Amino acid sequence: MIERVRRIVGGKGDEARRRKTAAALLILAVFALSGCNALSTAGGDSPSAVIAGSAPRDPQQDRLGAEEHPRIVAAYGGIYRDEKLEQALVRIVGKVVAASDDPGQSYRITILNAPAVNAFALPGGYLYVTRGLLSLANDSSEVAAVLAHEMGHITANHAVARQNRAKNAVIVSQVVTDVLNDDNAGRLALQSSQRSLAGFSRQQELEADAIGVKTIGRAGYDPFAAARFLSAMGKFASYKTAQGAAADKRIDFLATHPSTPERIDFAVRAARQFGAPGVGSVDADRYLDGVDGMIFGDDPTQGFVRERSFVHPGLGVGFTVPEGFVIDNTSDAVLATGTDGTALRFDAVRLTPGSDLGTYLASGWVNGLDEKSIKRFAVNGMPAATATAKAKDWAFQIAVIQTEGGATYRFIFANEVSTPVFEKAAMETVQSFRKLTASETAGLQPLRVRVVTVKAGDTDQSLARRMRGVERPLELFRALNEIEPGAPLTPGRSVKVVQE
């Protein structure tokens, strides 16, 4: 599922609303510790491919990586399985490993089923790349640059150092304890934070950059690919933040690997040691053949976001948020944000079919509940209950709905102030919840990356008109293909479009 960060551009008032929305999303994130079920139906956590080396393995690093691997897979929506894409990735990794400082190192490569643009490494040679990053890359050299950078972290033992650091653990623990009536949940949050991936230092990033550029240059790839892809990711991030979205716990590559002008300049200077731009192979055609047909954005197992509606064909449910809200998916919930700082979390909870929903609301899983506010009613023929709560200066509107089959879903709205607008938005969203018809479910198709050939007379605008199901298609087309506005397209060039 997709999780992104909404950016509200403007003056001090807009910045205040942005911070307010971010805080509300943090508050709602802690509800994940209250027994909810993931909305994703993905499963299986064996790596996409394994490249076995001859060097002896480090038991401690193997153990650290093996412990974290299932958590990473779950947090990023499972593993994306595509034999053609996996073969393309193995070919790239094989060349990079052979040219690395430690060609005997074993690697386990996993394609994560997430649209976030990210790649990272864990101790023990665990390498991860999201399909979101693979959809943004335009040739093998760019993917090689990213993976060589991550291998550089492993070679320099950065991953072990990062594994031993935890950021904001005490703060997160306290937030959970304050909002939820559960000290155990607070301790669980502390443990989770201590095990989370912390960011690398500036020095470690530059060291990995240097190792990565040197490695792909020795492998025969274009050494300038590192700087090129850093720039491409920055432009794609600008497209996403302008689009607006909800908070993402699966932080993208640029959040942990900032694309600063300093790093791009550093990568260019490192690449020049191999020659002028144009040296080395990019291997674009074989790479694009590998990504052709890959799912783009939401995976069917994780539901679809279409404008202001979220629909999940696997669960057979959907709902619509009010005008001005932006919806995004996460691996275990759906998040949405409104322009007034309202945040929404939609998830599933395990309840016995036929349970009294009002009793569940009053069962003590959230502090500050006003039991007098509990109301029982029906939504499109399904039993439902709502209530209000106030805790730590936050106002909540909470609703629970149970389908005919016994599946139970929660809507949790948060804002600093309970206003008529806030209450109306919550009730409109809850009342829109419905079961999907068989014809609706059958008609839901994922978006996919399609590789097409530029013909004489084609422009970025004409090709962007072939895009389907995406916002601002022209900007997205340019971002996906690293095309500057107004730049001519050469006939015969392969480019990516997004279609159903």
Torsion of CA 66, 71, 73, 77, to 10 degrees: 170
Which token pair is 223? 């050494």
| Contact of 250 with 116, CB cutoff 8 Å | yes
What's the rounded mean pLDDT across residues 68-94?
Answer: 91
d(CA 330, CA 313): 16
Q: Give 498's strand partners.
A: 449
pLDDT tens digits, one per residue of 461-487: 999 999 988 878 999 999 999 999 989
| Contact of 363 with 352, CB cutoff 8 Å | no
d(CA 133, CA 115): 7
Please state, in angstroms and as integers, the Cα–Cα distance from residue 256 to each residue in 71, 197, 203, 204, 295, following that order.
18, 9, 13, 12, 24
Angle between helices 225-243 and 202-218 (to 10 degrees): 130
What's the rounded mean pLDDT across residues 493-499?
Answer: 97
Residue 118: closest CA among 259, 307, 221, 7: 259
DSSP 3-state of 325: coil
Q: What is the pLDDT of residue 329?
A: 77
Residue 5 has pLDDT above 90, yes or no: no
d(CA 139, CA 144): 9
Residue recorded with tokens 């790349």: 129
pLDDT tens digits, one per residue of 306-319: 778 999 988 999 99
Which token pair is 148? 């060589």
**Percentage with pLDDT > 90 across the chain:** 48
Residue 247 has pLDDT above 80, yes or no: no
Average pLDDT, the chain: 81
Using 50, 70 and 90 to split pLDDT, how confident is the model at 177? very low
Torsion of CA 361, 362, 368, 370, to 10 degrees: 90
DSSP 3-state of 125: coil
Burial of 258 (0-12, 13-18, 19+ CB in 10 A): middle
Burial of 131 (0-12, 13-18, 19+ CB in 10 A): buried
- Measured at the CA of 100, the angle between CA 65 and CA 257, to 5 degrees, comes to 60
DSSP string, 449-466: EEEEE--TT--HHHHHTT
In angstroms, how far is CA 321 from the centroid of its own chain? 21
Report the range out of 92-106, 144-158, 256-270, 423-437 with the highest average pLDDT.
423-437
d(CA 389, CA 239): 37
Q: What is the pLDDT of residue 443?
A: 80
What's the rounded mean pLDDT across residues 86-98?
Answer: 94
Torsion of CA 180, 182, 183, 187, to 10 degrees: -80
φ/ψ region of 44 (left if φ > 0, alpha if ψ in -120 to 50, else beta) reads left
Q: What is the pLDDT of residue 121?
A: 85
Q: What is the pLDDT of residue 284?
A: 96
Q: How many CB atoms lie within 10 A of CB 379?
A: 18
Residue 172 has pLDDT above 70, yes or no: no
Q: Give 391's strand partners.
A: 394
Using 50, 70 and 90 to split pLDDT, how confident is the model at 95? very high
Using 50, 70 and 90 to split pLDDT, how confident is the model at 16? low
What's the rounded mean pLDDT across residues 142-161?
Answer: 79
What's the rounded mean pLDDT across residues 205-224?
Answer: 92
Using 50, 70 and 90 to split pLDDT, how confident is the model at 188? very low
Q: What is the pLDDT of residue 331?
A: 65
Q: What is the pLDDT of residue 18?
A: 57
d(CA 12, CA 8): 11
Residue 340: closest CA among 360, 321, 358, 353: 321
Q: What is the pLDDT of residue 7?
A: 24
**Percentage with pLDDT > 70 across the chain:** 77
pLDDT tens digits, one per residue of 279-309: 999 999 999 999 999 999 888 778 888 778 9
Using 50, 70 and 90 to split pLDDT, how confident is the model at 45? confident
Q: What is the pLDDT of residue 30?
A: 54
Contacts of 189 (CB under 8 A, 6+ apart): 30, 33, 172, 173, 175, 176
What's the rounded mean pLDDT across residues 53-78?
Answer: 83
DSSP 3-state of 444: coil
d(CA 458, CA 460): 7
What's the rounded mean pLDDT across residues 222-236?
Answer: 92
Which token pair is 352? 């016995």
d(CA 212, CA 493): 28
Radius of gyration of the chain (CA): 23
Residue recorded with tokens 């009053």: 362
Which token pair is 397? 């509107």
What's the rounded mean pLDDT across residues 137-141?
Answer: 97
d(CA 347, CA 182): 19
Residue 179 has pLDDT above 70, yes or no: no
What's the rounded mean pLDDT across residues 429-449?
Answer: 91
Q: What is the pLDDT of residue 375?
A: 97
Q: What is the pLDDT of residue 4?
A: 27
d(CA 394, CA 418): 8
Residue 388 has pLDDT above 90, yes or no: yes
d(CA 279, CA 52): 30
Which token pair is 327? 């919806």
Contacts of 139 (CB under 8 A, 6+ apart): 222, 225, 282, 283, 284, 287, 288
Using 50, 70 and 90 to split pLDDT, how confident is the model at 189? very low
More confident call, 401 vs 446: 401
Convert 224-292 into a string of H (helix), E (strand) and C (coil): CHHHHHHHHHHHHHHHHHHHCCCCCCCCCHHHHCCCCHHHHHHHHHHHHHHCCCCCCECCHHHHHHHHC
| Contact of 334 with 303, CB cutoff 8 Å | yes
